Amino acid sequence: MGGLLSKLKKKSSPKIAEAGGETAPLAPILTSDLERRARLLDGLERSDLGWFWASDDAGRLIYLSEPAAERISENGEEIVGRQLADIFKDDDELGESSTQRPLKFQLAARNSLRPTTVKIDVGGRTLWWEISGAPRISETEDFSGYHGIARDVTASIASQRDAEKLSRFDSLTGLANRHRITHKLAATLTAFQSAKRSCATMLLDLDRFKQVNDTMGHPAGDELLKQVAARLTRIVGDQGEIGRLGGDEFQVILPDIEDRQHLGDLSERIIQMLSQPYSINGMRAVIGCSVGVAVAPFDGIESEELVKAADLALYAAKGGGRGQYRFYSSDLRDKASHRHQIEEDLRDALLKDELEMHYQPIVSSKDHKVVSVEALMRWNHSERGMVSPADFIPVAEEVGIIRELGEWAINDVCNRVASWPTDVRAAINVSAVQFASDDLIPIVKRALKKSGVNPARIEFEITESVFVGDIERALRMFKDLKEMGVRLALDDFGTGYSSLSYLRDAPFDKIKIDQSFVRGCTEPGNNNAAIVSAVVSLARALNMETVAEGVETKDELEAVVAQGAVSLQGLLFSRAQPAEYITELLESGELILEPLGPEKYRSDRRTEFRKIGLVHGDSRYDVVLRNLSKTGAKIEGLLEVPLGTEFVLDLGGGQLAVATVRRSEGFSQGVEFETPLISDGSDGLCTRHRVSPYQIEAAGRPLRSLSDEGVAAITGGSAGGHRQFQQVDVAAQKR
């Protein structure tokens, strides 16, 4: 028997080569060889390929491989006796796709413990292990604890978390990416609908970021975006979540905020902080920011609807001159359609000869004599008549037509000025897009040569935005223009991107003081007068002229003249006039313009002429809104209304204002608002709060974004029934 067994071993067992080349006989580890088995398990434990653990029937740890114990405790014995659930904790950060059951649940069930990822907190850091085990059953068939194995999966979990973070967060800024912020908004709106809560969202777009990216390079652009993200995070704080949608576009979600005063203040802080200069690799960069705001459920119920509303508001903010914010309103939908039509028609405006230049006189502050004019483009549409420059110029810049329009304007003005009988100068506005074009200098040279105009009579008005990015290039452009003999004016000085280095290095002949500083400079406590004085003093020290823009009242005229402004421009003297009118004026030689206009500036009153709803008791009336200010309004349409009568004015878009009659004469009333209106980010006014669609839903109507019909239905007013006041036809009364 022994010989047979020996033969079988030799036949079935391979030889193992030893150092000397001879083979050693196979020595299997038998079940009874406890010492060698123990060494095997000990070697496995110390190899970190896997560890062993055991617990008793009370869930206390009674054994853990020594290398494993050393990883989570300086003294491994200290953890023996502790509850498993106190050492191994469920990982709350597991993804939504995980089907892992809580560890406590599995231990309580006393069934086989499937591979389970747990986390262990060790001295301020976190380890992740994967544990599994099988229940031990005693001879009496009672549960006596677990035997199990464990392995360290910290590296793979960290890698998985990094991959998940990359899929949900922007790798450059660390903010939520488009996927996460979109999912977050959708989930928030769904949850908030059932709880009848509101949620605002902001869309942000950086102004002039592309110029920085193009001139300073993409690494500089990336660094700029990081700094923008950091500033945004500080401003928003814990009010909401910020996401980067891509490029220079950002989105902010603000739960439980619908107060437009709060949203407007936050938007202004964002614009102000993001417009402060940035230092990038020792270079200075200045950008701006535009903000569009929409609030659920007022402006949209679903996330797609709300984002579209915010996008329309953002577009309106950019179209209003950038560096501004806008709230969404239903009017923006109509404007978007109108804008699309403008884009289509603008491409043919030059071919159809629909563009024309108008000229606004600029007069001397000493004798009100016309010294120059500003050329302003007008579009006389063949079907719609005059189209506002505020409507078509931003579109022209966006779609790239502004260069063609700018070239046409330069040629037309040069030809016109060459025919004038006096030495009056004409100023031409140059957009930042046109200034960035390499063909501006050749265009100016050709226009001067072809028209034969004296270059000193041509002035180019340039805004500070041309300095964003490649300042050296801008200075070279200025030098080339000055060498031709034309004059340069810095337009809209002080409106957000000012730097004294511009004035020190650029050869400007004139500084135009923006009308925002002229407006209100006569009001007590307003600092605009001091700003005007400072700009005038600075220009005088640099041997530059000054023009005060937007002078519309006689008290403003006195104020800016007292501060030393050299020239004046504004409606008080003349609006922009057709070229033929200016030609006749110059040929007549009567160049003195008398100031004609209001005596005093009224800061908060806006002329209106639109129909609104008025609710009194159970009746609803249609009245005409004539004037509107933050604190009150003038309305027309009701006869003999007593003083002290309280109304609710329906200003549209869910905006209800409680008002009290303070003046009443015939069919005209002056009312005072219970709560002042606020700025809408433009030159308009709005209410802080609006009728909630949840209120309309409670009245039995389906939940949807605000509509005037829904608001009218719940205000309690009716067109019929007994009326206390007589409604009149305002137009007929005027006639």
pLDDT of 199-236, one tens digit each?
A: 999 999 998 888 888 888 889 999 999 999 999 999 99
Contact assessment for residue 314 and residue 270, using Cβ atoms and an 8 Å cutoff: no
- pLDDT interval class at 154 (50, 70, 90): confident
Contact assessment for residue 362 and residue 426, using Cβ atoms and an 8 Å cutoff: no
Q: Look at residue 687 and tell me whether its pLDDT is greater than 90.
A: yes
CA distance 701 to 704: 9
- pLDDT interval class at 519 (50, 70, 90): confident
For 348-359, what is the mean pLDDT? 92
**What SS3 class is residue 611?**
strand
CA distance 526 to 555: 14
For 683-707, what is the mean pLDDT? 89
Task: Give the pLDDT confidence of 385-396 residue by residue, as tens digits.
Answer: 888 887 888 888
> For the chain, what is the largest distance between any 2 Cα atoms, rounded to a whole number of angstroms?
140
CA separation, residue 415 to residues 233, 307, 455, 591, 634 (Å): 53, 48, 12, 21, 48
For the ranges 150-159, 454-463, 663-672, the lowest mean pLDDT is seen at: 150-159
For 328-338, what is the mean pLDDT? 78
How many CB atoms sit inside 10 A of residue 409's CB? 21
Q: Look at residue 546 and tell me whether its pLDDT is greater than 80.
A: yes
Q: Look at residue 727 and tell me whether its pLDDT is greater than 60.
A: yes
Q: Look at residue 108 and tell me whether its pLDDT is greater than 90.
A: no
Check residue 373 and give its pLDDT: 97
Check residue 734 and give its pLDDT: 56
For the ranges 194-203, 252-261, 525-534, the lowest mean pLDDT is seen at: 525-534
Q: Look at residue 706 and tell me whether its pLDDT is greater than 90.
A: no
Q: How far is CA 18 from the centre of its chain?
A: 75
Task: Give the pLDDT confidence of 573-612 residue by residue, as tens digits.
Answer: 999 999 999 999 999 998 999 999 888 766 555 566 788 9
Quote the tokens at residue 300.
Answer: 């949209």
> Burial of 109 by CB count in 10 Å (0-12 exposed, 13-18 middle, 19+ buried)?
exposed
- pLDDT interval class at 94 (50, 70, 90): low
For 573-654, where are the alpha helices, taking DSSP H only?
579-588
Name the packing angle between helices 154-168 and 178-195 (round to 10°): 80
Check residue 40 and give its pLDDT: 78
The position carrying tokens 């597991």 is 94
For 363-388, what is the mean pLDDT? 92
**What SS3 class is residue 528?**
helix
For 368-390, what is the mean pLDDT? 91
User: HEC states along 410-456?
Assistant: HHHHHHHHHHCCCCCEEEEEECHHHHCCCCHHHHHHHHHHHHCCCHH
CA distance 427 to 440: 16
For the ranges 101-115, 132-146, 260-274, the lowest mean pLDDT is seen at: 101-115
Contact assessment for residue 314 and residue 205, using Cβ atoms and an 8 Å cutoff: yes
Nearest to 671 by CA among 723, 727, 614, 719: 614
Say if strands 577-578 and 606-616 run parallel, antiparallel, or are unpaired.
unpaired
CA distance 37 to 616: 95
CA distance 30 to 154: 36
For 303-331, what is the mean pLDDT? 89
Q: Which residue ranges form the domains of the chain, and what is each CATH number?
A: 33-160 (3.30.450.20), 169-329 (3.30.70.270), 361-377+396-576 (3.20.20.450), 606-734 (2.40.10)
Check residue 85 and give its pLDDT: 84
